[in-house]
C-alpha cells in the first residue's frame, strides 16, 4: 500500500481511530504527526475498548512499527500511564514504538500556564482539554522547549530548563501567582524517564525514511482535525498543532513527495467540543437525538459534545485544504430513526449566500445555515457491510454528502466494530485495501 494520511474533516472525534485501525492491516508502519494526549482515539476490538492518546493506534496490531513523530508533544508521565494501561489490556508496547528525538515535552509548568491562560480569558476561554498541549507548543515556538532528545543527555537538563522556567516565573509574577513547580523533581523524573525509555528515542525522520527505502508503507494518523488546525481551523478556537494533511511532512520529516494519498474522516452529522462557532449546531431536540444515539461524550475529558448536522460548507473546505482522495463517513447508524435529516449546504450571511468557509470568525459566527432536508430511512443500518445492504435513502444521503463535499465516499462505518464497515468498490480507498 502507498503512504496514506488519515485526517479528521470536522472538529475532531470523527472516528479516525477505527479507520486507522482498519487500514493498519495493509501497512507496516503507523506514525502520528501532531498533538499530544489532548487527543483520544477509541478503537473497539471484539469486546475490548482501547483508548489511545499519544501512542499511535497501530500499536494494537502486533508487528507494526509505531512512530511518535516530531510534530507531537508528549508528557512523559501521561505516556507511561497510557503504556501501562495498554499493557494491562494485553497490548505489548515494546521496541516496536519509536519516539522521535525532536518531540517536545509537556512539563508540569505547561499545565499551570494553560489553567492560568484559560482562566484569564474568562468568557472567551477556548475550552481546551487542559493537557498542557498549547503551552508546550508555545515553548517550542518560543525557542525554550525541551525535547525527547534532551533526555539522552541528562547532565544538561537543568540548564536546558532555564529559559522555560524564567518564562513561566515571569508570567506567574505578572498574574500575582506563586510558581508551583518543583524543578528538581522535574529534572529527577525526566532523568528516570530517559533511563527507562531512552532506547525508544530515535531520529524519527531517519527511521521512517529507512522504512520507505525497504518498501514498507506508512499510515499517518492525524489527531484533532481540519477545523481545529492552528492555521486552517476556526482560530483562535483551535488546537495548537498542524492537524491537516500538510502537517504530515513537517510533523514526521517525511517529505511531501513521499505522501501518496489522503483520506478524510467525517461523521454523518457533526460535533464539536469546546467553544467557538458551529453554524450547523442542532436545536435542543436534535442534540438530544444525536448525543444520545451517538454517545457523544469526549474520550479524553468525558465532556458532552456539541452536536449538529452535516456541514457541507466545512466539508468542502476540508476537501480543499487536505486534498482528500476519499472520504470515510462514520456513525451513519446514529441517523437511523430520523424522518428527515437536515444537511447544511451553504451559509447565509447578511442577506448573501456563502458557499465557501470564511476565515473571519465574526463572519462565521454570524452565518445562518441553509439546510436541505434529506429523506431518512427509518430502519437499521447498524452493522451493514455492503453498499447494497443500505436502504436506498441512506445511499442517497451518502451520495448527496459526497456531491456537496466534492469528494468520493470510499468507506461508510455502520458501528464501532472493525467488521461494521462498508468499503465502496472502485474508490481510492478500496484500491488501497486490495
Ligand atoms: P487543546 O488541544 O487542548 O489546546 O484544545 C483546543 C481545542 O481543541 C478545544 O476546543 C478542544 O476541545 C479541542 N480538542 C483538542 N483535542 C481534541 C480531540 O481529540 N477531539 C475533539 N476536540 C479536541
d(CA 9, CA 266): 5
What pLDDT, on a 0 to 100 scale, did the predictor assign at position 197?
A: 97
Torsion angle, alpha carbons of 414, 418, 419, 425, to 10: 70
Is 334 within 8 Å of 293 (Cβ atoms)?
yes
What pLDDT, on a 0 to 100 scale, did the predictor assign at position 17?
A: 87
Question: pLDDT tens digits, residue range 219-273?
Answer: 999 999 999 999 999 999 999 999 999 999 999 999 999 999 999 999 999 999 9
What pLDDT, on a 0 to 100 scale, did the predictor assign at position 302?
A: 85
Q: Determine the atom of ligand 1 nearest the C-alpha atom of 114.
A: 4
What's the helix, strand, coil split of the chain in %, to 5? 40, 20, 40
The residues annotated with a catalytic role in the active site are: 13, 41
d(CA 416, CA 418): 7
- Residue 40 Cα, ligand 1 centroid: separation in angstroms? 10
Is the CB of residue 38 below 6 angstroms from any atom belonging to ligand 1?
A: yes
Pocket test for ligand 1, best of 12, 13, 129, 244 (most atoms within 8 A of CB): 129
Residue whose CA is closest, atom 21 of ligand 1? 12
- Residue 16 Cα, ligand 1 centroid: separation in angstroms? 15
Which residues of the chain, if any, have pLDDT below 70? none
Pocket test for ligand 1, best of 9, 11, 20, 38 (most atoms within 8 A of CB): 38
Give phi and psi for 428, each to the nearest 5.
Answer: -60, -40
Question: pLDDT tens digits, residue range 275-286?
Answer: 899 999 999 999
d(CA 29, CA 217): 6
What pLDDT, on a 0 to 100 scale, did the predictor assign at position 417?
A: 87
Domains parsed from the chain with CATH numbers: 1-102+205-434 (3.40.440.10), 108-196 (1.10.300.10)
Amino acid at each position: 500500500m502507498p503512504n496514506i494520511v488519515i485526517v479528521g474533516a470536522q472538529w475532531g472525534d470523527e472516528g479516525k481511530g477505527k479507520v486507522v485501525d482498519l487500514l493498519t492491516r495493509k501497512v507496516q508502519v503507523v506514525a502520528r504527526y501532531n498533538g499530544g494526549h489532548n487527543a483520544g482515539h477509541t478503537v473497539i476490538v471484539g469486546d475490548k475498548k482501547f483508548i489511545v492518546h499519544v501512542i499511535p493506534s497501530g500499536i494494537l496490531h502486533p508487528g507494526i512499527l509505531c512512530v511518535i513523530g516530531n510534530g507531537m508533544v508528549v508528557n512523559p508521565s501521561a505516556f507511561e500511564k497510557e503504556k501501562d494501561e495498554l499493557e494491562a489490556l494485553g497490548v505489548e508496547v515494546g521496541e516496536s514504538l519509536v519516539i522521535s528525538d525532536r518531540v517536545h515535552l509537556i512539563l508540569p509548568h505547561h499545565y499551570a500556564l494553560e489553567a492560568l491562560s484559560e482562566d484569564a480569558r474568562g468568557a472567551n476561554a477556548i475550552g481546551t482539554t487542559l493537557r498542557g498541549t498549547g503551552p508546550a507548543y508555545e515553548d517550542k515556538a518560543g525557542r525554550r522547549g525541551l525535547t525527547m532528545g534532551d533526555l539522552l543527555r541528562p547532565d544538561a537538563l537543568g540548564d536546558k530548563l532555564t529559559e522555560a522556567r524564567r518564562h513561566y516565573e515571569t508570567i506567574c509574577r505578572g498574574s500575582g501567582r506563586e510558581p508551583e513547580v518543583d524543578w528538581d523533581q522535574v529534572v529527577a523524573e525526566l532523568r528516570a524517564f530517559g533511563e527507562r525509555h531512552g532506547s525508544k528515542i530515535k531520529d524519527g525522520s531517519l527511521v521512517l525514511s529507512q522504512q520507505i527505502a525497504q518498501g514498507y508503507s506508512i499510515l499517518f494518523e492525524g489527531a484533532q482535525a481540519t477545523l481545529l488546525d492552528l492555521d486552517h481551523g476556526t482560530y483562535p478556537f483551535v488546537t495548537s498543532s498542524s492537524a491537516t494533511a500538510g502537517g504530515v511532512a513537517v510533523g514526521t520529516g517525511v517529505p511531501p513527495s513521499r505522501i501518496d494519498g489522503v483520506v478524510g474522516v467525517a461523521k454523518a452529522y457533526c460535533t464539536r467540543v469546546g467553544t467557538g462557532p458551529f453554524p450547523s449546531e442542532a436545536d435542543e431536540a436534535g442534540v438530544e437525538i444525536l448525543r444520545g444515539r451517538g454517545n457523544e461524550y469526549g474520550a479524553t475529558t468525558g465532556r458532552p459534545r456539541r452536536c449538529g448536522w452535516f456541514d457541507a460548507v466545512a466539508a468542502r473546505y476540508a476537501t480543499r485544504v487536505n486534498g482528500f482522495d476519499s472520504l470515510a463517513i462514520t456513525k451513519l447508524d446514529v441517523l437511523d430513526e430520523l424522518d428527515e435529516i437536515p444537511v447544511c449546504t451553504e451559509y447565509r450571511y447578511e442577506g448573501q449566500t456563502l458557499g465557501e468557509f470564511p476565515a473571519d470568525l465574526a463572519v462565521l459566527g454570524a452565518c445562518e445555515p441553509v439546510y436541505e432536508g434529506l429523506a431518512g430511512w427509518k430502519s437499521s443500518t447498524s452493522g451493514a457491510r455492503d453498499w447494497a445492504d443500505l436502504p436506498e435513502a441512506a445511499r442517497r444521503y451518502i451520495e448527496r454528502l459526497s456531491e456537496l463535499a466534492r469528494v468520493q465516499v470510499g468507506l461508510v462505518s455502520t458501528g464501532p466494530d472493525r467488521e461494521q464497515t462498508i468499503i465502496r468498490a472502485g474508490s481510492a480507498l478500496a484500491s488501497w485495501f486490495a
